Structure 1
């Protein structure tokens, strides 16, 4: 890739990492959209996005954890089935154009809802363990199939069901994304027998953006702003799935 194109790609990755990490996400759906715009090969995009996810999710979780927003009791029921299902989704290579478009429309609907969500940021009930485990398994499969960590599905679920505050959801989603990204990447490597390819400037851009965004999201941004930023993230993810399935 030419130096100028690599610079623009790195800038796009940086912006996505700042935006996504501010709401506890790692940015895979955004990275996929940016890399698709630069016409990278599909077999390169998915594992590269998951690799960047691992870097950014690690930083994001650490920031939200240090700020006191992580809740283990909320996290573990969602992860127990998501890891094997993310591996399965990463292993499978299905023709998912229609599937991605349907998921994209759902994410766009979620984005519209969060734009106007001004409810107090207080959880109503804790999720039942069977419901959380089943939801986590389904989200893990979606994460593996779409090449993401699943945060774009988990965070809206936690907030819409009022199972968590915005920042607690962000902290839980960050670690959820980390586990699923590792599992999904392992499944992809197992299926393709090849390691992901990426350039060092892109990794640096993602790490820098993730560090800035997660610090702002965990310590400086209020819950209403978090929801508005989440709406933007879901809008980008939904448009990516609809227009770049």
Structure 2
């Protein structure tokens, strides 16, 4: 348990630097120490809420937030994140589902291109991004929001690559929009089941300090340089180990 705040700090640092809040990293860290689903989900959402708040302010101040891009995704996501947060999944279902989410996040860290100022993820970055149809954004946001609420994540690991792959946003805009999307989903997920807050552990305050410290540093550095490859590989390894534990360990 003593290395858990360190893992949370590293996750917050890396994820905040690319416009995410780190929920998949927090879930992986908690899975490694064998925490129950009842503790993992609300704890990850609370930490997500703290870091995404910092990131939203930082990226908005940098002019990297698009309201037009954000609101249709958020409109679809918020009610579904609420219902996803309210849904009760037995640990035998919740943990494998989270394991798959962690696996996706690990693959992205190892092989995907994360959004930074230097790296847009698309070869034709000089082109002006085309906004998606509002109805499509609402529909996609709903699907991502439900999965976010169900698993205790913010949905950023799905929204960011979608925005870049489809050419709907450039790097900084994708990061700034995603972190605000994560913020509203985390709020909705917690609101869906406020009784889950009773399962927050006494040591959450220490994890929160680690997350805020890493998230603050990551948000500052995010607009300047790529996170160190070694840090990405380390976090990806943690995610892979945790994913395997969640998927293949039956309790």
In structure 2, do the counterparts of structure 1 residues 202 and 151 end up closer, same or farther at CA, with 3 Å as the change threshold? same
Query: Structure 2: how far apart are the matches of 1:237 and 1:119?
Result: 30
Specify the alignment match of 2:216 in structure 1: 211
Runs of 4+, deviation exceeding 6 Å: 231-234
Structure 2 vs 1, CA of residues 44 and 193 (structure 1 numbering), >3 Å: closer, same or farther?
closer
TM-score (norm 1): 0.83
**Structure 1 position 120, deviation (Å):** 3.6
Q: Distance in 1 between matches of 2:184 and 2:96?
A: 27
Whole-angstrom distance in 2 between the partners of 1:158 and 1:130? 15
C-alpha distance in 2 between matches for 1:236 and 1:57? 23
2:185 equivalent to 1:183: no
**Structure 2 contact 122–164 (Cα < 8 Å) conserved:** no
- Mapped to 1, the partners of 2:46 and 2:163 lie a distance apart of 25
5 Å matches for 1:26-105?
26-94=21-89, 95-96=93-94, 99-100=97-98, 103=101
| Residues 241, 125 of structure 1: alpha-carbon distance in 2 compared, 3 angstrom cutoff | farther
Counterpart of 1:194 in structure 2 is 198
Aligned length: 234
TM-score where L is the length of structure 2: 0.82
Specify every segment of 5 or more residues in structure 1 that has no aligned partner in the other structure, as ranges: none
Note closer, same or farther for the CA distance 1:83–1:105 as it changes in structure 2 (3 Å cut): same
Shift of 1:196: 2.6
Which position in structure 2 is the counterpart of 1:146? 151
1:28·1:52 contact (CA, 8 Å) conserved in 2? yes
Partner Cα separation in structure 1 for residue 131 and residue 218 of structure 2: 28
CA contact (8 A) 2:31 2:245 kept: no
C-alpha separation in 2, matches of 1:93 and 1:154: 24
- Determine the C-alpha separation between the residues in 2 that align with 1:86 and 1:61: 19
Q: CA 1:102/1:27 → structure 2, altered by over 3 Å: closer, same or farther?
A: closer
Cα pair distance change 1:100/1:36, threshold 3 Å: closer
Give the structure 2 partner of residue 119 of structure 1.
Answer: 123
Q: Secondary structure at the match of 1:194?
A: helix
CA RMSD of aligned residues (A): 2.9
**Alignment deviations for residues 60-106 of structure 1 (CA, whole Å, 9 cap, x no partner):** 11111111111111100100021110011111123245655655565
Partner deviation per Cα, 1:169-209 (whole Å, 9 max, x = no partner): 1101111101100111122325x473533522211111010
Identify if the C-alpha distance between structure 1 residues 242 and 79 changes in structure 2 by more than 3 Å, giving closer, same or farther. Answer: farther
Provide the secondary structure at the position in 1 that maps to 2:215.
helix
How far apart, in 2, do the equivalents of 1:66 and 1:166 lie? Answer: 16
Following the alignment from structure 2 to structure 1, what is the Cα–Cα distance between the partners of residues 94 and 151? Answer: 9
